[in-house]
Amino acid sequence: MAWHPRWGRRAQHTGQLMAVLALAALGGCATRPAATGSADRDGPLPNPPANLAQVPDAVPRIEPIRIGGPNKPYEVLGERYEPITADSAYVDRGIATWYGRKFHGRPTASGEVYNMYAMTAAHATLPIPSYARVRNPANGREVIVRINDRGPFHKGRIIDLSYTAALKLDLLRGAGPVEVRRITYAEIRAGTWPRPAEPAPVFVPDAPPAAPQRDTTATVAAAAGAWLQFGAFAKLDAAESLRQRVAEADLTLLPLLTIVREAGLHRLRAGPFPSADEARATAERLRADAGLEASLVPPR
């Protein structure tokens, strides 16, 4: 059984070798620690298949969960993880990353070969195999993935998506906030896991899938309520980077964070808050705890 950690697309961590050795002790590691040179950085493959946005989601089915192997407790970088083996519900919010060519064609924690174009994902504690619904709160898009790998092991990051899953959620440009909800065996048996039938919007990337998706954030008017603004940027990447920093400082803000394109700038905002006083209190707490500055958006 092959095991390896997932480090996120841009991570360079001095403890990676320790993590690899720890996982190797559990199951025999078939990978090598990430190098620091740019030639070994993860990313997309050239000339990906066409129409990846139309790849069907994983279809949940009952698959036995083997006790031991990828589902036994393990330790990475001093943190102990105990994978779930019961048919229990699970919901979490945090940062999602994706992994690509560096691991494409190599064994996952389940022993299956990783296919970056399939609808799969890595998670630190969900059963292997199992299924999860992943939602991007910034745009409302959802996908269903099959969990067949372990990782990521960065604070605040809760899932590593395949390339195609990240593309369908519009997360190829980098890390972004998501909600992960396990689909249990009870839901699969009862047939209650599908969403009510409704016309599904077709997502067509406005850049080739081989490249990070750029500037697909819709122009959004601020909804009723109080809003905070953390910054305004000419480049979307800068707003995305700040969104990740804010989310890592306070995961409870994940559902509230959004990037609004207004007057030619990408504005990172959080809201709506029930009142201006609550918004100001949140801004003061973030300033004190994380050194993050935010201002109240003037009402229109």
Q: How high is the pLDDT of residue 67? A: 84
**Amino acid type, 211:** A
**How does pLDDT run across 232-254, given as a tens digit for each residue?**
898 877 887 888 788 778 766 66
pLDDT > 70 fraction of the chain, expressed in percent and rounded: 74
Q: Is 235 helix (H, G, I), strand (E, B) or coil?
A: coil
Among 9-18, 176-185, 219-228, the minimum mean pLDDT is found in: 9-18
Is the pLDDT higher at 204 or at 88? Answer: 88
Helix, strand, coil % in the chain, rounded to nearest 5: 25, 25, 55
Confidence of residue 136 (pLDDT cuts 50, 70, 90): very high
* pTM to 2 decimal places: 0.59
Confidence of residue 300 (pLDDT cuts 50, 70, 90): low
**How does pLDDT run across 101-117, given as a tens digit for each residue?**
999 999 999 999 999 99
Q: Kindly tell me if the per-residue pLDDT of 200 is higher than 50.
A: no
Cβ pair 207, 172 in contact under 8 A: no
**Amino acid type, 213:** Q
Sheet with strand 295-296: strands edge to edge: 257-262, 265-273, 226-233, 295-296
At residue 15's C-alpha, the angle toward residues 97 and 157, to 5°, is 20
How large is the average pLDDT for residues 21-39?
Answer: 35
Q: Kindly tell me if the per-residue pLDDT of 167 is higher than 60.
A: yes
At residue 264's C-alpha, the angle toward residues 262 and 266, to 5°, is 60
Is the pLDDT higher at 207 or at 30? Answer: 207
